[in-house]
Amino acid sequence: MLEIKNLHATVDGKAILKGIDLSIQAGEVHAIMGPNGSGKSTLSYILTGREGYELTEGEILFKGKDLREMEPEERAGEGLFLAFQYPVEIPGVPNTTFLKEALNAIRRYRGEDELDAMQFVKMVREKTKLLGINDEMLKRAVNVGFSGGEKKRNEALQMAVLEPAMAILDETDSGLDIDALKTVANSVNLLRKPENAMLVITHYQRLLEYIVPDRVHVLADGRIQRSGGKELALELEEKGYAEFAGAA
Amino acid sequence: MAVTVETVEQVQALDKYKYGFVTEIETDTAPKGLGEDIVRFISAKKNEPQWLLDWRLKAYRHWLTMPEPEWAKVQFPPIDYQDAYYYSAPKSPDDAPKSLDEVDPKLLETYEKLGIPLREQEKLAGVAVDAVFDSVSVATTFKKNLEEVGVIFCSISEAVQKHPELVRKYMGSVVPYGDNKHSCLNSAVFTDGSFVYIPKGVRCPMELSTYFRINAENTGQFERTLIIADEGSYVSYLEGCTAPMRDEHQLHAAVVELIALDDAEIKYSTVQNWYPGDEDGKGGIYNFVTKRGACRGRNSKISWTQVETGSAITWKYPSCILQGDNSVGEFYSIAITNNRQQADTGTKMIHLGKNTRSRIIAKGISAGRSDSTYRGLVRISAKAEGARNFTQCDSLLIGDRCGAHTVPYIESKNRNAILEHEATTSRISEDQLFYCRQRGIPEEDAVALVVNGFCREVLQQLPMEFAVEAQKLVGISLEGSVG
């Protein structure tokens, strides 16, 4: 589903990613772990096309398509979703308006008919029910006044509605207590499907207790230093990132 | 061709005869320039009574002595008043586009985006067709409903003829002829406008909008509107149109006067989308409007809601004089400027009566190289015991070459008054745009979404049907403002 080859990237002219290779197949969940400043978030922004993050070398193929020349909204249309570490507030825009706008934009991109208000409401209600989210959240302005847990659950709701082929979860555990973490992880697990893939970016191992990955990669100093099965996460938890620090 | 002319004449004759809303067809045009003779000419053409001619002349003579207002934060070359026509016959259908094929495709694109029906598009673009037939039947139904409850809704010229006592009593009573240079000019040379009278205890059975929208002829650059809500009555009036209107006059100086008597309420909503000029601001309309409402009676209420997106220059301060005890004034405003547009707009809330309350919510959005200013005055007189005001001014900037300014004046002569003022200035953030785009929403739609959210409190005040169009308009006005 996702093929990353020899990826180099800079931010403000500074080299952050220095040659990443990564291959994720449909149905797989990969985790990227690494210390602060290792380039984890840069990777998620390079994949989703954020301005200011520049790809200098290498290529990214998503479902066989070259992502490099695509706008962020086109990448979303292709089925790439980023669950933000810090979901953004949009005052005055009800959640439901935002979701409908996003879903229909993606449907337009794919040449599908837009959903009308009735169809949309029915669909969203199914998703909130599935995730155990109170419908009241739909009326509130996007992320405004949401607690940390609510924001992350709202990301999960957006993911459920947009049904991406591939979701990148950027530090989804940050700012959550253990109960909120479990709830969010549960929601994410409900959205796991054989035809979809996920890339979980995290600093700590604890999220991976709930969202169990097929593969774990250690990112440090802009490169993947080691890859392994889920047990690698436990090993890291025990030993820390020290042995990878300054690896270059 | 001859057939088209004939059709148009027939329709216009029909309108004139049956519904009286359309200005009489004139055969001649006053020469260019302004003078007492022109004022007399206009008055004579309209067959006006002596008192009105006298009033116009008084206004004209006073206008000559008045300096141009220069306090607003807008810049434009001096207006050559002698280089304009003040009375002209309607354009010959020969000059009008024959079909939508001849209309500027950009204009049509905008109509399309706003979802304006084809028939209305033709009307707005000034196409010489018989599309009016459709609206005539709709208008008839409306007119009948209004007559049944005694509501008078007609052109101001017709009101001068048929209800001179009402016009004489109220016209100029809220905006005196010498109020300001622009309103003074309007008083001298106004050509037409609307007149509304709601009788005692009547709740106007419909928004005075759809009718107006379909049927309004181009009343020209000096429009005059007078709305009187008698005791215990209610009316909601909607002026303007989301679609950009074709107009060849550069200077527009309208006057709107509202009068609310005891327990009456007037809700006045405006969507202004006059031609803003090209990207360099050339050819855009100067919109210098004086709008003022008087809450004369106890417990009366006047509420202004405006969405200002058009014009090269907007100079406009819809105000409320809160005379009656317990009266309420409200001002909800969205002003969007893009490219080279300049807007200096706001309100005045003059508290005279006891326990009078006012509320001001102003949202300014600036993009491109435009400049937007909120200018407001809240004045509490010594006798206005228990007066209250709440003001909130929010500015949103898009890009780094535009300007937003807030100039609130507050004068209180009463120690018991409670005044609150809140103001914010923010920039549309890259975070917000990226968040939207990552969810699949293209950049321009993302801007529209964020801005609509910013304006929500004001959009909610608009009548339902217009709120939807106004939302789309917000997006369209800001096209090309990012990226």
**pLDDT score of B14:** 37
CA atoms of B361 and B345, how far apart (whole Å): 12
CB B360 within 8 A of CB B374: no
- Give A110 to chain B, closest Cα distance, Å: 11
Reported as a pLDDT band with limits 50, 70 and 90, residue B249 is: low
Least confident stretch, A135-149, B67-81, B175-189 = B67-81
For residue A71, the chain B residues in CB contact (below 8 A) are 437, 442-443
- The closest alpha carbon to A78, from A111, A106, A45, A50, belongs to A106
- The closest alpha carbon to A171, from A134, A219, A105, belongs to A219
**pLDDT score of B119:** 58
What secondary structure letter does DSSP report for B18?
I
**pLDDT score of B421:** 93
pTM of the model: 0.82
Query: Residue B190: which residues within 8 A CB-CB, separation 6 or more?
Result: B156, B222, B223, B224, B255
CA atoms of A127 and A141, how far apart (whole Å): 18
- Average pLDDT over chain B reads 82
ipTM of the complex: 0.96
Q: What is the 3-state secondary structure (H, E, C) of A94-132?
A: EHHHHHHHHHHHHHHHCCCCCCCHHHHHHHHHHHHHHHC
For residue A50, the chain B residues in CB contact (below 8 A) are 434, 438
pLDDT reading at B229 higher than 80: yes
Q: Pick from A45, A53, A90 the residue to mutate for testing the B interface (most B CBs within 10 Å).
A: A90
Interface contact flag, A105 B450, Cβ < 8 Å: no
Instruction: Report yes or no: B332 at the A interface, CB cutoff 8 Å.
Output: no
Please write the tens of the pLDDT for every residue from B408-427.
Answer: 999 999 999 999 999 999 88
- The closest alpha carbon to A128, from A92, A91, A153, belongs to A153
Reported as a pLDDT band with limits 50, 70 and 90, residue B219 is: very low
Instruction: Report yes or no: B162 at the A interface, CB cutoff 8 Å.
Output: no
Looking at per-residue pLDDT, the higher value among B475 and A225 belongs to: A225
Mean pLDDT of B157-179: 93
Interface contact flag, B432 A51, Cβ < 8 Å: no
Q: Pick from A93, A95, A106, A108 the residue to mutate for testing the B interface (most B CBs within 10 Å).
A: A93
Q: Say whether B150 sits in a helix, a strand or coil.
A: coil
* Residue from the list B430, B449, B455 with its beta carbon closest to the beta carbon of A101: B449
pLDDT reading at B128 higher than 80: no
pLDDT reading at A8 higher than 50: yes
Query: CA of B430: which chain A residue's CA is closest?
Result: A51
pLDDT reading at B214 higher than 90: no
> Angle CA(B33)–CA(B38)–CA(B39) in degrees, nearest 5?
125
CB pairs under 8 A between A and B: 79
Q: Pick from A73, A143, A169 the residue to mutate for testing the B interface (most B CBs within 10 Å).
A: A73
Which sequence spans correspond to the domains of chain B? 2-477
Whole-angstrom CA distances from B479 to B336, B339, B456, B482 are 12, 10, 19, 8
- The closest alpha carbon to A4, from A84, A66, A51, A78, belongs to A66
CB B229 within 8 A of CB B200: no
Q: Say whether B215 sits in a helix, a strand or coil.
A: helix
Reported as a pLDDT band with limits 50, 70 and 90, residue B74 is: confident
CA atoms of B247 and B220, how far apart (whole Å): 8
Reported as a pLDDT band with limits 50, 70 and 90, residue B120 is: low
Mean pLDDT of B179-196: 90
**pLDDT score of B216:** 41
**pLDDT score of B22:** 34
For residue B441, the chain A residues in CB contact (below 8 A) are 73, 101-102, 105
| Domains of chain A, CATH where assigned | 2-245 (3.40.50.300)
CA atoms of A173 and A132, how far apart (whole Å): 19
Please write the tens of the pLDDT for every residue from B348-375.
Answer: 999 999 999 999 999 999 988 899 999 9
Interface contact flag, A92 B457, Cβ < 8 Å: yes
Please write the tens of the pLDDT for every residue from A178-204.
Answer: 888 998 898 899 989 999 999 999 988
Mean pLDDT of B162-181: 94
Residue type, B392: Q
